[in-house]
Chains A and B, each alone.
Chain A
Amino acid sequence: MIVNDKNIPSRPAPASTRGIAGWLRENLFSTPGNSVLTFMGLAFLVWAIPPIFQWAVLQADFIGVNKEACTSEGACWVFVSARFQQFMYGFYPDTELWRVNIFFAQMTAVLVWVLWDKMPRRTWGGVWFLTGFPLTSFILLHGGFLGLETVETHKWGGLMLTLVLSLVGMVIALPIGILLALGRRSDMPAVSSFCTVFIEIWRGVPLITILFMASVMLPLFIPGDIELDKLARAMIGISLFEAALIAEVIRGGLQAMPKGQYEAADAMGLSYWQGMRLIIMPQVLKISIPGIVNTFVQLFKDTSLVLIIGLFDLLAVMQAGITDVNWPNISIEAFVFTGFVFWAFCFGMSRYSVALERKLDTGHKS
């Protein structure tokens, strides 16, 4: 017989598993193979970083107005500053640029309001984001109202166009995607087959094809002299394409939900839409965050394809700059810079989504 009525006091974990040493051991040198990989990675960084840094910063030219200012061996960032206006605004008229600046400012403000959980009255922020913000932005950017000069959408371009297309695409695609996903799982055969066919057609076609069809073929089907703006057609095409992708992401989330959650919602007397809105969707959207953000990041980058229908987004404006005879051999700088801007936005989305996942974690693992 063994009787033990002494309490063994808790001791701290062994030193080799704590602190910096513990972290190193755990993450970098846990096995001989990992140690080798750590050293190889280190060697690669030592080999690669200095020349890149030298090219991009130390030997680069930042000040000037034309190619002649670039006398060093490194990057010629003068190109970027010389082209900055096109890069930001496309071919928007010089005298009206303040309108785009107000749009940028309002967009930043409203996004911070909606996305940062320490802001007050975020529900109102959301309402403004979905109503007032698009309306005022349209009036500002397009004009034709309140004495504002009309700026045709084919003059829109650069970062501004990229952001307008992405924001519209995301905001429209998410709710439609949710409805399509619910519809595809519906008990009603008509609804579910409609949604299935819609999803399969839209996501099975390359976005380029959709944009091309929207630009060239759609006008053939629209009767009479109704003329739908080219940008609007691109927006509709992108939104529906992304909605089909989002729908499948959401459907994956719906299938991951335990059946008991649906049953508990039903058993309490919640209606279908109440159950979806209050119980199912909050959880589905949470577990679908990686997939949704993945789709959004892709959407953000895919907006470049509007080049095919003659709209000049960020990338297209830069490419146009490369062909300028006054700026020979500038393509590396142009692509590195454009790539960096795209990356910065996408990385921002990614970090935000990680933070959001962490915030929404309620310790439930099932």
Chain B
Amino acid sequence: MHAEVEEKEKQSVSLKHMAGTETMIELRGVNKWYGDFHVLKDINLTVRKGERIVVCGPSGSGKSTMIRCINRLEEHQEGIIDVNGVTLTNDLKNIEHIRKDVGMVFQHFNLFPHLTVLENCTLAPIWVRKMPRKETEEIAMKYLERVKIPDQANKYPGQLSGGQQQRVAIARSLCMNPEVMLFDEPTSALDPEMIKEVLDVMIELAQEGMTMICVTHEMGFARTVANRVIFMDGGQIIEENAPEPFFNSPQSERTQLFLSQILSH
């Protein structure tokens, strides 16, 4: 038990200095409606290169919608979103350019069931980055080794456990060599015993300096990895702080209530 705590502390120490000063993602005055429903209200957020942001909040608070706006899976109606120096517009070229640099991991993995694990990983590098197949396979195997499932490379996703599928999904995103990774509740659909294996991979990724935005309720992960924790409710960012003060002395009443609800047992 002691060793684990020490290990975690070491991890957080090694993570402390990594956030740079370069801006990676910037949301300025972003508003979004679903019909008449105002899902995102005046969102302002700046993520620097190498920063790790954890977004939490009750369901329906707009946290998934917010990160899905960053790679245009959802369209925002007002405000400006800059990703890695490119401003999101309706221009398809622009959108595809941003998506190349932004990896995304979904709650339900969304692996392609008709392709093997290896093919899942090489598909986008081959067709989007136009890399030779041989090279993409080498890269895919490198990342599959990093998520500790190289031996499953020729299986189909349907033959893997949930935790393994999610690790493949992470490897698949990494094969595109993204600048940012978005995680949309990556462990919410997993059985409890598989959550750790996925979080371990994400922590490793953070240690290597990947810029990450994670929507998650894994508060242990937030404490270990995040530079900042963002709490959203009703489509707004309610509180934003470093993990220590965020968890130990939350300022807003809504944050206090939320934390007391998820940490009560």
Query: With A362-B114, A364-B157 in contact, do A267 and B127 touch (Cβ < 8 Å)?
Result: no
Among the 9-residue stretches B100-108, B211-219, B238-246, the one with 4 or more Cβ atoms under 8 Å from chain A is B100-108
Name which of A23-31, A70-78, A230-238, A277-285 contacts chain B: A277-285
Instruction: Decide: A267 and B73 in contact? CB cutoff 8 A.
Output: yes
Interface contact A363-B159, CB-CB below 8 Å: yes
Report the Cα distance A258→B112, complex, angstroms. 11
Chain B residues, Cβ within 8 Å of A362: 113-114, 156-159
* A contact patch SS: helix
Complex CA gap A360/B176 in Å reads: 27
Is A268 part of the binding interface, using a Cβ–Cβ cutoff of 8 Å? yes
Question: Is A264 in contact with B112, judged by CB distance below 8 angstroms?
Answer: yes
- Say yes or no for B96: interface residue by CB 8 A criterion: yes
- A260 x B106 contact (CB < 8 A): yes
Q: Is B127 within 8 A of A270, CB to CB?
A: yes
The CA-CA distance from A11 to B72 in the complex, in Å, is: 55
| A268 x B106 contact (CB < 8 A) | no
Q: What residues on B are CB-neighbors of A282 within 8 Å?
A: 114
**Choice from B110, B127, B156 contacting A363 with Cβ under 8 Å:** B156
Within 8 A of A (CB), among B66-112: 71-73, 92, 96-97, 99-100, 102-104, 106, 108-112
Given contacts A260-B106, A263-B73, A267-B71, contact A365 B124 (CB under 8 A): no
- Chain B interface residue count, Cβ-Cβ cutoff 8 angstroms: 30
Given contacts A263-B106, A269-B96, contact A274 B127 (CB under 8 A): yes
- Shortest beta-carbon distance, A221 to chain B, in Å? 39
In the bound complex, what is the Cα–Cα distance between A306 and B106 (angstroms)? Answer: 53
Chain B residues lying within 8 Å of A264, measured Cβ to Cβ, are 104, 106, 110-112
B157 to chain A: closest residue by CB: A364
Task: Write the chain A residue with the least CB distance to B93.
Answer: A271
Q: Report the nearest B residue to A260, measured CB to CB.
A: B110
**B128 CB–A CB distance under 8 Å:** yes
Candidates B99, B112, B114, B159; contact of A269 at CB < 8 Å: B99
The answer, yes or no, to whether B123 is at the interface (CB within 8 Å) is yes
**Contact code string A259-297 (vs B, CB < 8 Å = 1, else 0):** 011011011111100100011001100100000000000
Contact B113 A283 (CB under 8 A): yes
**A366 proximal to B (CB < 8 A):** yes
Determine whether the beta carbon of A260 is less than 8 Å from that of B108: yes
| Cβ-defined contact, B104 with A269, below 8 A | no
Q: Is the CB of A286 within 8 A of B114?
A: yes
Looking at the complex, which one of A261, A266, A269, A360 makes contact with B73 (CB distance below 8 Å)?
A266
Q: A362-B158, A364-B156, A365-B158 are in contact. Are A267 and B114 (CB under 8 A)?
A: no
Complex Cα spacing A261 to B127, Å: 17
Q: Are B128 and A268 interface neighbours, CB within 8 A? A: yes
Q: Among A260, A261, A263, A268, point to the contact of B124 (Cβ < 8 A).
A: A268
How far does the alpha carbon of A261 sit from the alpha carbon of B157 in the complex, in Å?
13
Inter-chain contact A278/B73, CB cutoff 8 Å = no
User: A269 to B110, Cβ gap below 8 A?
Assistant: no
Interfacial chain A residues near B112, Cβ < 8 Å:
261, 264, 279, 283
Least Cβ distance of A364 to chain B in Å? 3
Q: How far is the CA of A336 from the CA of B17 in the complex (A)?
A: 84
Bound complex: CA of A258 vs CA of B189, how far in Å?
16
Which single member of A261, A269, A278 contacts B176 (CB below 8 Å)? Answer: A269
Taken residue by residue from 117 to 140, chain B's Cβ proximity to chain A (1 for < 8 Å, 0 otherwise) reads as 000000110011000000000000
In the assembled complex, the Cα of A114 lies from the Cα of B87 at a distance in Å of 47
- Given contacts A274-B127, A362-B156, A363-B159, are A267 and B113 in contact (CB under 8 A)? no
Alpha-carbon gap, A268 to B106, bound state (A)? 12
Minimum Cβ distance to chain B for residue A40 (Å): 41
In the bound complex, how far is the Cα of B127 from the Cα of A267, in angstroms?
Answer: 13
A264 to chain B, nearest CB (A): 4
Give Cα A263–Cα B113 distance, bound, in whole angstroms: 14
Across the interface, which residues of A come within 8 angstroms of B124, CB to CB? 268-270
Rounded to whole angstroms, the CA-CA distance of A281 and B128 in the bound complex is 18
- Residues in A with CB closer than 8 Å to B123 are 268, 270, 278-279
Partner of A267, one of B92, B97, B104, B156: B104
Q: Are B110 and A268 in contact (CB under 8 A)?
A: no
Contacts of A278 in B (CB 8 A): 123, 127
Assess whether A366 is in contact with B113, with CB atoms less than 8 Å apart: yes
- How far apart sit A279 and B112, CA to CA, in the bound complex (Å)? 7
How far apart are B142's CB and chain A's nearest CB, in angstroms? 18
In this complex, what residue of A is CB-closest to B74? A263
With A and B bound together, what is the CA distance between A278 and B71 in angstroms? 20
Residues of A within 8 A of B96 (CB): 269, 271
**Complex Cα distance A364/B165, Å?**
12
Which of B72, B113, B158, B173 has the most CB atoms of chain A within a 10 A radius of its CB? Answer: B113
Report the minimal beta-carbon distance from A145 to chain B, rounded to whole angstroms. Answer: 41
Give, as a whole number of angstroms, the nearest-CB distance from A256 to chain B.
13
State whether B159 touches A267 (Cβ < 8 A). no
Report the 6 A-B pairs with minimum CB-CB distance, sorted nearest first.
A364-B158, A364-B113, A363-B158, A260-B110, A264-B110, A269-B99
Known pairs A268-B173, A364-B114, A364-B157; list 11 more (Cβ under 8 Å).
A260-B106, A264-B111, A266-B71, A266-B72, A266-B99, A267-B103, A268-B172, A269-B124, A362-B157, A363-B156, A364-B158
Binding site for A on B (CB under 8 A): 71-73, 92, 96-97, 99-100, 102-104, 106, 108-114, 123-124, 127-128, 156-159, 172-173, 176
> Can you offer 30 A-B residue contacts whose CB atoms are under 8 A?
A258-B110, A260-B109, A260-B110, A263-B110, A264-B104, A264-B106, A266-B71, A266-B72, A267-B99, A268-B124, A268-B172, A268-B176, A269-B96, A269-B100, A270-B124, A271-B92, A271-B96, A274-B127, A279-B123, A283-B114, A286-B114, A362-B113, A362-B114, A362-B157, A362-B158, A363-B156, A364-B114, A364-B156, A365-B158, A366-B113
